[in-house]
Amino acid sequence: MLKDFRLGLYRPVVSEVVAAEVADAPDLVRERYEELLDLDAEVLEVDAEVLRLADTYQARKILTPKFYDDGLHIALATVAGVDLLVSWNFKHIVHYDKIQLFSAVNEELGYSPLQIYSPREVTHYEEEGV
């Protein structure tokens, strides 16, 4: 996946929420995040529209209040019109039932569909050496 960004095939998009989470992450994770920023990543900021959408996820009980930031990730990507969200969070984000619930809310509110995948599902180029 990083190879695709390095080749300029895709533009990385991160958020201020990711920045806060990465601050205490292991060195390798912080280095990868810095590389994304160096690759001209777009940095999304939380605004009123994003908060309303994340609050709707809470109201629909897709996530509990403890995992509000996970809903913020989805809301940020949705509002920004990101084509693909990639996450290692298999419990609250890359989870079939959750994806269906997020999608239903997004469609109901008039947002475009958001594709959600794990890094393993989008790294075929690196694995094949392309």
Distance CA 101, CA 63 (A): 10
pTM of the model: 0.86
Residue type at 48 in one-letter notation: A
Check which CATH number belongs to the domain holding 49 and give it: 3.40.50
Tokens of 64: 């509990």
pLDDT > 70? residue 124: no
Q: Give residue 126's pLDDT.
A: 46
Q: Average per-residue pLDDT in the chain? A: 90
Of the pLDDT bands very low, low, confident and very high (cuts 50, 70, 90), residue 125 is: very low
Q: How far is CA 63 from the centre of its chain?
A: 15
Residue numbers of the domain that contains 9: 2-128
| pLDDT, average across residues 59-65 | 95
Structural domain count of the chain: 1
Distance CA 126, CA 59 (A): 40
Distance CA 123, CA 5 (A): 11
